[in-house]
């Protein structure tokens, strides 16, 4: 069945006045998400924040179930947190690394994660090892297989990097991790909302994601999945009276579900709206979304290859909605600025965000155009015409 782009656009007020190809930065929220946010804020203003939270408890609980449905896990395995990084950190820093423990990661790993590896390595003597890429620039799965020994404490991979269309082979990596009983932590920040993610198929133990990108939820929201047997083995680095209960003057007891990774104070409106965003993605169908994103991103890639001086920078053989490129003689920031002046949103990805990959390819920065299902073929044509105009 054809994707109903007209309906998707009618639900996206932001696409009336501009071409938004920055879904990898933050997508445009659809009307049900905007409505969910505003409704709760109005309720808070009317009856008070705590009272509104109590009145909306069912809606908050529905967010956990929606995330669980999307990931094919239990609600008790979902923590709702401020952003992907905080979720990732709460799980990663809970591991008890020691000298000589090996952390296997990839060249596409996101800066915040890698900075955490460096800090833990410095403090504990754990070793960070970056797996080689295959000839297309994805994680080399055979090299991973060969790297496994009993000192590997964690495999931590970024599924879709912040700087391009690569989709790392998470399911193959997860299979190897599972065969060896090694925890597998997947940064799914950029893949969530643009493709199906099933934690059973991926054999993932921990997964972090954000609300504002391809899920089209509000900013300042994210979630963390932790597989049940691992939850009780991991004591998060920060605890409060929500993650644990102070049961005696010298004693506390941790929550025994994934809420031990959360903290008490939160943006309730955004929590509810995250659930709406997930439900909306499930209603469209993540397979259908992925197929539609593939059509639009392929059209954009095809058009870009015919423009003089434009070089596509996407790695791997399986590509997603992030289209990355450079333009000869024009800095990425200048391209993005020129596009913005023409009513087109894109963004710059700079080397410090994905140091290993960008350095390896001799790149300082590149342009990212992250397209989504509500973007149209006509917008692709207008984007290409604008870029052609900038190049001339």
Candidate ranges 78-86, 116-124, 167-175, 259-267; the one touching ligand PLP (CB under 6 A) = 78-86
CB of residue 330 to ligand PLP, shortest distance in Å: 24
CA distance 125 to 285: 44
Q: Which is nearer to ligand PLP, 85 or 326 (CB)?
A: 85
Helix intervals (H) in the chain: 5-10, 31-47, 49-55, 57-71, 84-92, 111-124, 141-147, 170-180, 199-202, 228-231, 268-284, 286-305, 332-341, 355-360, 377-391
Candidate ranges 10-18, 39-47, 83-91, 277-285; the one touching ligand PLP (CB under 6 A) = 83-91
Q: Which of 12, 22, 85, 376 binds ligand PLP (CB under 6 A)?
A: 85
Hey, what are 80's tokens?
């709702």
CB of residue 105 to ligand PLP, shortest distance in Å: 12
Q: Which is nearer to ligand PLP, 95 or 110 (CB)?
A: 110
Running DSSP on this structure, what letter comes out for residue 83?
A: S
Written as one string, the DSSP assignment of 3-37 is: --HHHHHHT-GGGTTSEE-BTTT-PPPPHHHHHHH
Q: How big is the site for ligand PLP, counted in residues (CB under 6 A)?
A: 13
Q: Which of 11, 63, 210, 375 binds ligand PLP (CB under 6 A)?
A: 210
Q: Which is nearer to ligand PLP, 39 or 353 (CB)?
A: 353
CA atoms within 13 A on the CB side of 43: 18
Give the footprint of ligand PLP on residues 220-279 (CB under 6 A): 222
158 contacts ligand PLP (rule: CB under 6 A): yes
CB of residue 221 to ligand PLP, shortest distance in Å: 8
CA distance 74 to 76: 5
Q: Which of 12, 23, 83, 105 binds ligand PLP (CB under 6 A)?
A: 83
CB of residue 161 to ligand PLP, shortest distance in Å: 6
CA distance 122 to 317: 35
CB 272 within 8 A of CB 41: no
CA distance 54 to 168: 41
Q: Which is nearer to ligand PLP, 190 or 375 (CB)?
A: 190
What x/- string results for residues 110 through 149 when contact with ligand PLP is judged by CB under 6 A? x-x-------------------------------------
Q: Which is nearer to ligand PLP, 157 or 380 (CB)?
A: 157
CB of residue 125 to ligand PLP, shortest distance in Å: 26
Give the footprint of ligand PLP on residues 180-209 (CB under 6 A): 187, 189-190
**Cα distances (angstroms) measured from residue 274 to each of 189, 224, 387:** 14, 13, 34
**Cα distances (angstroms) measured from residue 16 to each of 31, 189, 264:** 13, 27, 38
Q: Which positions lie near ligand PLP, rule CB under 6 A?
A: 83-85, 110, 112, 158, 161-162, 187, 189-190, 210, 222
């Amino acid at each position: 069945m054809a994707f109903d782009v007209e309906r998707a656009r009618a639900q996206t007020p932001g696409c009336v006045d501009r071409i938004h190809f920055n879904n990898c930065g933050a997508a445009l929220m659809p009307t049900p998400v905007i409505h969910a946010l505003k409704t709760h804020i109005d309720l808070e203003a009317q009856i008070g924040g705590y009272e509104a939270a109590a009145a909306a408890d069912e809606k908050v609980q529905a967010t956990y179930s929606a995330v669980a449905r999307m990931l094919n896990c239990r609600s008790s395995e979902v923590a709702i947190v401020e952003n992907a990084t905080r979720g990732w950190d709460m799980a990663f820093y809970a591991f008890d690394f020691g000298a000589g423990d090996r952390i296997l990661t990839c060249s596409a790993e996101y800066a915040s994660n890698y900075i955490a590896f460096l800090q833990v390595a410095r403090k504990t003597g754990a070793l960070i090892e970056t797996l080689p890429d295959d000839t297309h620039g994805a994680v080399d799965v055979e090299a991973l297989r060969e790297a496994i020994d009993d000192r590997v404490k964690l495999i931590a991979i970024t599924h879709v990097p912040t700087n391009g269309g690569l989709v790392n082979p998470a399911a193959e990596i997860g299979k190897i991790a599972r065969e060896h009983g090694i925890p597998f932590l997947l940064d799914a920040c950029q893949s969530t909302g643009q493709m199906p993610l099933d934690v059973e198929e991926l054999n993932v133990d921990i997964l972090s994601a954000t609300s504002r990108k391809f899920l089209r939820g509000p900013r300042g929201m994210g979630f963390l999945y932790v597989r049940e047997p691992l939850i009780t083995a991991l004591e998060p680095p920060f605890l409060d009276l929500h993650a644990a209960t102070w049961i005696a003057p010298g004693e506390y007891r941790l929550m025994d579900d994934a809420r031990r990774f959360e903290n008490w104070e939160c943006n309730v409106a955004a929590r509810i709206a995250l659930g709406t965003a997930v439900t909306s993605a499930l209603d469209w169908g993540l397979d259908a979304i992925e197929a539609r994103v593939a059509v639009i991103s392929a059209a954009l890639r095809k058009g870009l290859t015919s423009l003089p001086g434009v070089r596509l920078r996407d790695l791997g053989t399986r590509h997603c909605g992030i289209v990355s490129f450079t333009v000869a003689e024009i800095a990425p920031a200048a391209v993005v600025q020129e596009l913005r002046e023409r009513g087109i949103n894109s963004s710059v990805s700079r080397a410090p965000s994905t140091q290993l990959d960008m350095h390896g390819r001799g790149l300082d920065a590149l342009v990212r155009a992250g397209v989504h299902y509500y973007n149209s073929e006509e917008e692709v044509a207008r984007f290409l015409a604008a870029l052609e105009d900038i190049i001339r």
